[in-house]
Amino acid sequence: MTQRFRAAIYGGSGFAGAELIRRLLIHPHVELARVCSIDHVGELLSVAHPHLEGVTDLTFEQLPAREAARDVDIVLLGLPHTASIGVVESLLETPVKVLDMSGAFRLDDTAAYARYYGATHPRPDLFARFAYGLPELNRDQIARSRFVASPGCFATTIELALLPLARAGLLHSAVDVVGITGSSGSGVVPSAGTHHPVRANNLRTYKPLDHQHVPEIERVLREASGRELRVHFVPVSAPLVRGIFATAFARVPAEYGDAAIKSLFQEAYVREPFVRVPAKRLPEVVAVSGSNYAEVGVTVGPIEGATRLVTVFGALDNLVKGGAGQAIQNMNLMLGVDERAALEDVGGYP
């Protein structure tokens, strides 16, 4: 009989928290023991997450980190990166496993952290203790680790799209990427840029060439390819609630034709439970929205001199495979249960 585990969520009142709670409540091997938040303390979870009305009697609790971790096997952190650091410090001397969904421990470079997150990291000595939580790259390391940092939503999309080319040694110098994202990626607290009237019929860029997910993407591509690679990334805010669609442009040696390039992608993901390479179409957001599945596709251009242009596409749900779903996938690996548990639903269409 499979062992039954207990989990706590720390920072559970946001959109990612809602998705974590929803999936843990149906998890066959993990019981959701408590949900902590500084908002809605003492109130039912359904006050913040109306889709949970009548589903659970759990309430939001405000507890110190060590108390939140009492009698549980794993704590999932749905906090801003500045808050995650302090919680992790509080849990170092406990036996509990920690899954952090913020950017606090995704990097291995203090200078990159300072540039992209705007502050000096107070505990860079902890970087080496965290596995980077992209299962398609680090599955074995995740399963062995007590601390895991789940990737960002844009980062997951772009990394999955480019990994087959990186592993084959076909990426050189720089890759150009445009990524389109839905409003839920900005979090539950509204701002001038996420307010519905200015977003519903609008497209606009933000943080062009300076998004905080760039250094983690470059780190993954470096580790996969064995060489330094630059990513020129322009994010775009779109009138969607859920979803990310990324388009990446790379030049590969001319001798790699359409069949060879496409076979790289098929072979890379044929055994991956949550990455699909559609046979008859290119990726699209509606096919993955609400699910933990990501889609990747590629088109190969004609020869231009010694190279040809390869355009790679990736799509996923930013709150699921780009957020809480991937966190659950990592949790499953860390606890040694079926990686697919509570994640195999395919979402809705359209």
CA–CA distances in Å: residue 52 to residues 17, 18, 345, 348: 12, 9, 18, 18
- Return the pLDDT at 1: 55
| pLDDT value of residue 184 | 78
Q: How confident is the model at residue 72 (pLDDT cuts 50, 70, 90)?
A: very high
Region 310-339 average pLDDT = 98
**Percent of the chain residues past pLDDT 70, beyond the cut:** 98
Of the residues 65, 104, 142, 153, only one is catalytic, namely 153
Catalytic residue at 36? no
Whether 314 and 329 map to the same domain: the answer is no
Q: What is the pLDDT of residue 198?
A: 82
Residue 199's pLDDT band, with cuts at 50, 70 and 90, is confident
Q: 17 and 120 in one domain? A: yes
169 and 134 in a common domain: no
Q: Indicate whether 307 and 184 sit together in one domain.
A: yes
195/235 same-domain check: yes
Domain contains 26: yes
Whether the CB-CB separation of 154 and 233 falls below 8 Å is answered with yes
- Which residue range is the domain that position 122 belongs to? 5-151+322-335
> Are 267 and 191 within one domain?
yes
Among 150-159, 177-186, 210-219, the least confident range: 177-186
Q: What is the pTM of this model?
A: 0.96
**Residue found under tokens 């009698």:** 71
Q: Report d(CA 57, CA 43) in Å as an integer.
A: 10
Segment 333-345 shows an average pLDDT of: 98
3-state DSSP helix/strand/coil percent for the chain, to nearest 5?
A: 35, 25, 40
Whether 347 is covered by a domain: the verdict is no
- Measured CA to CA, the distance from residue 321 to residue 314 in angstroms comes to 12
Residue 221 neighbours by CB distance under 10 Å: 24
- Look at residue 41 and tell me if it is in a domain: yes
Torsion of the alpha carbons at 185, 186, 189 and 192, rounded to the nearest 10: -140
Residue 185 falls within a domain, yes or no?
yes
